[in-house]
Structure 1
């Protein structure tokens, strides 16, 4: 191989170990006879040093060259030039203020498959082609796995729950959890949901009983989502809806996504830190590093872990005391955690979750159910405030249903067509999560449903992708696709769900689990609690709208890109959305 002689001159001169010894003996005749002549010979040490440095370097260079050769086909995929030689497009992908515009811009300009750049020029494939996404999340889902840094981050933040495991480990956890999120089990949640939402309504009515008032809505949506998942999911009350003081856990989780999101640019280095830096050293460094965002994440994770431990401990104690103690708890033993603990005891040994995994599930459930639901609810209420005619129409539908029955049961709520249309349309146009990442675990060929035009003018219908290539699944790219939804795809129009959808929607075969959209993903890593989330949103709206009216104020609300989209005001990083709230019986100013 060219250049090898410059790397290993001694090896080429002395190809066998015995001859290496002879060469050294000739060069060192004055060495003591009582010890091996090569023991302290500097040439021997240098030879070992050469090998220790050159062999790993050669293997690393060969691996990188091999990946570059395999990734050559991606150079034909169109895409924008990177803004940074070192970070590529990562600063734009994860830009809190302007990232939303970047994602929408590349979709409009380059279409359903776009080539982007990551660290040091690593290629990233940005995909919104439905057939390609079907391969990524369904057909070849164990080739296109979650990225190593995603798993490492979730393990540190939540523990070994659903979002922190891969492969068979993930399948076993999901197998145990799936029955808990069934429709039959969701029916038991309605009374709990209605009690919590009535408390929310009473709090807001109290605030505006003397006239219209500007109210920070995100606070109340976060508190409500947390209390809903607390009582229905864990049989535990955070007591954050009855009072006005901020719950420590609610405040922590509300700020987790906005705090973590800018750090995602650097998350690629996390697996190496976890693998090579001892845990005590990592913990000390994270708490004392001169980087406020990192220290904030550590504090948030500490609060989440402490809360999860407390909840699981109390629940286990009640189960040990017997059925009477369980029935006196919130949820009366029908909450998700109680059912999970009972199922875990009855599960076979290989399917049973460890204590650490149970805590991981709790932290994951608390974060995912609270943050996504509060984001979706805030967006729905914002859209209703922006479109008073739609708010009035939805209010009329709910009031009419309440006139027929004082209490709306599960079937009645799900059979309110306009309520369903408002929720579906909001989740389509403004999904809480706008994109997710995957990485290829081996070489694979990605077929496209619609061929694209390469930079050389040729038509491309399938793309060879090398191992360790990053892939971004664009949720908004599918949800707002003009080819799928028509020319008004980006418009918020709940009425589109009240008639037959275009044939193009059916023909697209979108592989998502919800309403021909990718909002809750699909395949083996689809959102396991999407029915729970839908029910929460509908009960909240059905409880508030008959009594309260929401209107925009002069304050400009800006929706910022994060792991989960959130509203904010000005340059503030904190989620906030002030709206004017008034009683329906009054005219707002």
Structure 2
């Protein structure tokens, strides 16, 4: 038998103190979690994975619809290893998360560190003052006035795409099948290349002219998805071990093919971004005349950012690494057309998704020929009123039916279906619609303990039948041609665009959503007036996967593609 006298008094005291501490911590944790535990939600599939695999897989649409229908706009979920999380699309809760209390409900530490590791200290890899300073520097280059000046460039690039497709049709059958996703992606890359970086990636003259950038990093997101569980669960625990050089040594040492593939693609992205930035710096050293002779004529976003940065006071000026962090993202996010969400969202939802979203819009027009015909009539009339010339910027942004189609597509099919936030300290989420707790009480707010993960469903926020009505799941552009429901107008939805959460909201909202809108309207207007889009013979096999960004695949082929038949409009 062991006697207490066998141990020094200080050890016994330490043991008792530890037991008291653990008991108090456990009770405190139970009290803090009790509010979340009272929120209804599904049972975990397992302790190891929680609801992780149900939530995040290519066919998870039905599960997200089930959550909204069965539990409403605030749901208690289970994370890996017994952790707890919230799933919400409640308007007031989202307003608190993104606007009112965004410093409490912020990006997780692993999100910031992973972005710093992959892309450097740019917008996605910073928070607080550093983030606000970078955003302040970038905001002017995304202004409506600046984008108006970019419109001729948008027209030039889109007409190149138009010419390439016309050439293809003239050299073959009247109706041909093309991979619209590939062409839209290449166009989006060239637009962000010229307008964003003053750099041309693709002459858009044929399949053989495509830049190697998208081909080399085509597997970035599929690779990430295979690593996602380890990145979200293990990475936060090892991210601070040793120096960057030591961590790189470990990555090289591990016999892990996917990890090495990710390393190589990130290295390539950084190499391209650094090369573009260094070329810009050399041109700036020569003078203004050399700048105006570049692609983009010095009006591209990065050139303007560099000019503003040179004029900025010391406390606002960005370091070279921070500017490269912005260069890094632009070609990556639109060249791969694949977004590693929940890792890389918010500020760049628009850039990362537009290749896919242009394709999505055309796919919807294929399956709604009456809408396609009505839009073509609107575009033809607008061109005739402009003397047969390109539709002016002001007329383009004000075309009612084109605008309605864009808004409705962005509402019903947000390219990024969800975003993550983490409670960095204890907080409270007030509710727009009260929740009936498991104990029978009506809950008007949820106490959220520090460390709780929150998944904000953009997909369900934009389809909320309490706000948008019983036809919220239907694609109806006409809903935007009259007043929106008062429930939508009165709800405190924090989105920066048209009462939608598609581009998020608050201080980390999508900084370039106006760029995205102009790109979308320019490309769709020119293509729909010139061409008629028809269903592919493979259309019945086309499925839009709920990956981190929605992507189309055909049948069992996991390679993203969207075949559509096309002919000259009559």
Once structures 1 and 2 are overlaid, which stretch shifts more, 299-308 or 519-528?
299-308
SS of match in other structure, 2:434: strand
SS of match in other structure, 2:138: helix
Look up the match of 1:331: 296
Note if 1:71 corresponds to 2:68.
no
CA distance 1:476–1:10, change in 2 (3 Å): same
Shift of residue 285, structure 1, vs aligned partner: 4.0
Shift of residue 510, structure 1, vs aligned partner: 1.2
Once structures 1 and 2 are overlaid, which stretch shifts more, 207-216 or 71-80?
207-216
Distance 1:55 1:402 in 2: 80
CA distance 1:553–1:88, change in 2 (3 Å): same
Look up the match of 2:487: 504
**8 Å Cα contact 1:260-1:297 kept in structure 2:** yes
CA distance 1:253–1:491, change in 2 (3 Å): farther
Note if 1:393 corresponds to 2:396.
no
For residue 384 of structure 2, the aligned residue among 403, 414, 424 is 403
Shift of residue 290, structure 1, vs aligned partner: 4.3
Note if 1:165 corresponds to 2:126.
yes
Distance 1:570 1:135 in 2: 41
Distance 1:264 1:62 in 2: 35
- The gaps in structure 1 that reach 5 residues or longer are 17-49
Distance 2:308 2:182 in 1: 34
For residues 270-309 of structure 1, the C-alpha deviation after alignment (integer angstroms, 9 at most, x for no partner) is 2322201432343244356444433332222122111110
Look up the match of 1:494: 477
CA distance 1:15–1:89, change in 2 (3 Å): closer
For residue 439 of structure 2, the aligned residue among 456, 460, 479 is 456
Shift of residue 316, structure 1, vs aligned partner: 1.0
Distance 1:414 1:509 in 2: 26
Look up the match of 2:535: 552
Look up the match of 1:480: 463
1:61-140 equivalence runs, <5 A: 66-96=28-58, 98-140=59-101
SS of match in other structure, 1:87: coil
Look up the match of 2:548: 563
For residues 479-510 of structure 1, the C-alpha deviation after alignment (integer angstroms, 9 at most, x for no partner) is 00001110000110101101111111111121
SS of match in other structure, 1:546: helix
Shift of residue 62, structure 1, vs aligned partner: 7.0
Q: Normalising to structure 2: TM-score of the pair?
A: 0.91
Note if 1:213 corresponds to 2:198.
no
For residue 321 of structure 1, the aligned residue among 278, 286, 291 is 286
Distance 1:60 1:472 in 2: 29
Distance 2:288 2:63 in 1: 55
Look up the match of 1:428: 411
CA distance 1:13–1:158, change in 2 (3 Å): closer
**8 Å Cα contact 1:152-1:270 kept in structure 2:** no
CA distance 1:510–1:370, change in 2 (3 Å): closer
Look up the match of 2:340: none
Note if 1:275 corresponds to 2:228.
no
RMSD of the alignment, in Å? 2.3
For residue 143 of structure 1, the aligned residue among 97, 104, 113 is 104
Distance 1:214 1:61 in 2: 67
Once structures 1 and 2 are overlaid, which stretch shifts more, 299-308 or 566-575?
566-575
Larger Rg: 1
For residue 374 of structure 1, the aligned residue among 355, 365, 368 is 355
Look up the match of 1:352: 317
Look up the match of 1:27: none
Shift of residue 268, structure 1, vs aligned partner: 3.0
For residues 79-125 of structure 1, the C-alpha deviation after alignment (integer angstroms, 9 at most, x for no partner) is 111112111011122212x2222212211111000011112111110
- The gaps in structure 2 that reach 5 residues or longer are 334-347
Aligned length: 544
Look up the match of 2:341: none
Look up the match of 1:383: 364
Look up the match of 2:344: none
CA distance 1:168–1:68, change in 2 (3 Å): farther
Shift of residue 10, structure 1, vs aligned partner: 3.5
